């Protein structure tokens, strides 16, 4: 990408989008295009088309989405399915219609089957049933991948898809009703230490294993992929290592300085037993993550202490 190319970051205020803006600015890209939801509602086709006609971006990072954890997915299935289908369809359609040179679509590792082989290779997509607690979001993301593939085949539009693992970092959502497990645990342990609580409750059995990627590493990988990857098969982005939720909780408690007990609420759902991405294809291209989990958690906790529980 040329340093003066017009680059649109859809979802620039979110966790991923804000990291992309930081990464691109640090690399010297000078013509970044950003619009908030109050300026362009991506669920409205006419607004999206008018925006593309006005700004004429050369490249698009499609990071805009409705996201949330298990509780939010269970409570709002219509919103997660409908809004994500609308956002990604309108942006991809408009990008193709207005001759965008390349689009990168951000998917999610939840697209893979609940009992996929571990680590999960890209070609296990659509080979089994999805995890019920996030299937609405997963189905929308699968549709986005397929739309990118369809545009490549039918119209020659240069669209690629990446599948990041579980993300965390500065700008995360720490709302206990809608957040993912890592930021939720940071807030729980912080408040427990602050309030002098003796224990913190962890949902589920603590045995599921998850992989966690710092969002700044993801942003770096996305820029790398935009410049080096040309294929219709989605590309996994992760660290290639996982950790149990119980071990994660212990690590976060240590970073935060909470010395109380951890209680397991086994009446709460666990979700998928294990989610580890096979990142061998990405490694073969020449990219690897560089932020260690403990260092990343410490940096995220420092951001949280400065900014508070801003969703």
Q: Count structural domains, the chain.
A: 1
| Residue 310, pLDDT score | 67
* 194 within domain boundaries: no
| Residue 311, pLDDT score | 52
N- to C-terminal Cα separation, the chain: 32
Q: Of 184, 200, 221, nearest to 68 (Cα)?
A: 184
* 206 within domain boundaries: no
| Residue 126, pLDDT score | 97
Q: Please provide the DSSP assignment of 53-101 as one string.
A: HHH--SEEEE-------HHHHHH-HHHHHHHHHHHHHHHHHHHHHTT-S
Share of the chain above pLDDT 70, in %: 99
Confirm whether residue 146 is marked as ligand binding: no
CA distances from 252 to 242, 295, 305 (A): 15, 11, 14
When pLDDT is cut at 50, 70 and 90, the band that residue 101 belongs to is very high
When pLDDT is cut at 50, 70 and 90, the band that residue 61 belongs to is very high
Confirm whether residue 108 is marked as ligand binding: yes
* 196 within domain boundaries: no
* 81 within domain boundaries: yes
| Residue 180, pLDDT score | 83
Q: Residues 56-77: what's their mean pLDDT?
A: 88
Lowest-pLDDT range of 10-19, 44-53, 167-176: 167-176
Domain that holds residue 132: 7-171+211-241+275-292
* 28 within domain boundaries: yes
Q: Which residue has the higher pLDDT, 295 or 203?
A: 295
Query: Over 90: is that where the pLDDT of 63 sits?
Result: yes
Question: CA 262 to CA 250: how far, in whole Å?
Answer: 8
Confirm whether residue 213 is marked as ligand binding: no
Q: Residues 210-235: what's their mean pLDDT?
A: 97
pTM of the model: 0.93
When pLDDT is cut at 50, 70 and 90, the band that residue 72 belongs to is confident
Query: Over 80: is that where the pLDDT of 70 sits?
Result: no
Confirm whether residue 203 is marked as ligand binding: yes
Query: Over 90: is that where the pLDDT of 243 sits?
Result: yes
Query: Over 90: is that where the pLDDT of 32 sits?
Result: yes
* 149 within domain boundaries: yes
Q: Residues 198-214: what's their mean pLDDT?
A: 94
Please give the positions annotated as active site: 137
* 107 within domain boundaries: yes
Q: Of 55, 145, 69, nearest to 100 (Cα)?
A: 55
| Residue 150, pLDDT score | 98
Confirm whether residue 14 is marked as ligand binding: yes
CATH code at position 284: 3.40.50.720
* 263 within domain boundaries: no
Q: Residues 155-174: what's their mean pLDDT?
A: 95
């Amino acid at each position: 990408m040329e340093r003066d190319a017009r680059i649109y970051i859809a979802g620039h205020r979110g966790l991923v989008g804000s990291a992309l803006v930081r990464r691109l600015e640090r690399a010297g890209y000078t013509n970044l295009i950003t619009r908030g939801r109050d300026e362009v509602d991506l669920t409205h086709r006419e607004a999206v088309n008018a925006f593309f006609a006005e700004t004429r971006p050369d490249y698009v990072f499609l990071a805009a989405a409705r996201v949330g954890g298990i509780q939010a997915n269970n409570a709002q299935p219509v919103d997660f399915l409908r809004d994500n289908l609308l956002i990604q369809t309108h942006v991809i359609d408009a990008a193709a219609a207005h001759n965008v040179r390349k689009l990168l679509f951000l998917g999610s590792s939840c697209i893979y089957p609940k009992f996929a082989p571990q680590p999960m290779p890209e070609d296990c997509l659509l080979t089994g049933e999805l995890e019920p607690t996030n299937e609405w979001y997963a189905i929308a993301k699968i549709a986005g991948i397929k739309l990118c593939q369809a545009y490549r085949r039918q119209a020659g539009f240069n669209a690629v898809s990446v599948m990041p693992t579980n993300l965390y970092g500065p700008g995360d959502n720490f709302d206990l009703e809608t957040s993912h497990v890592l930021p939720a645990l940071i807030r729980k342990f912080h408040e427990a230490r602050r309030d002098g609580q003796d224990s913190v409750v962890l949902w589920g059995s603590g045995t599921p294993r998850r992989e966690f990627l710092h969002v700044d590493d993801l942003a770096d990988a996305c820029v790398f992929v935009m410049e080096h990857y040309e294929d219709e098969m989605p590309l996994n982005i992760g660290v290639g290592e996982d950790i149990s939720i119980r071990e994660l909780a212990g690590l976060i408690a240590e970073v935060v300085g909470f010395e109380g007990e951890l209680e397991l609420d086994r009446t709460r759902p666990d979700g998928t037993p294990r989610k580890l991405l096979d990142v061998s294809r990405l490694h073969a291209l020449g990219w690897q993550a560089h932020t260690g989990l403990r260092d990343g958690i410490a940096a995220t906790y420092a951001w949280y202490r400065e900014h508070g529980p801003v969703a």
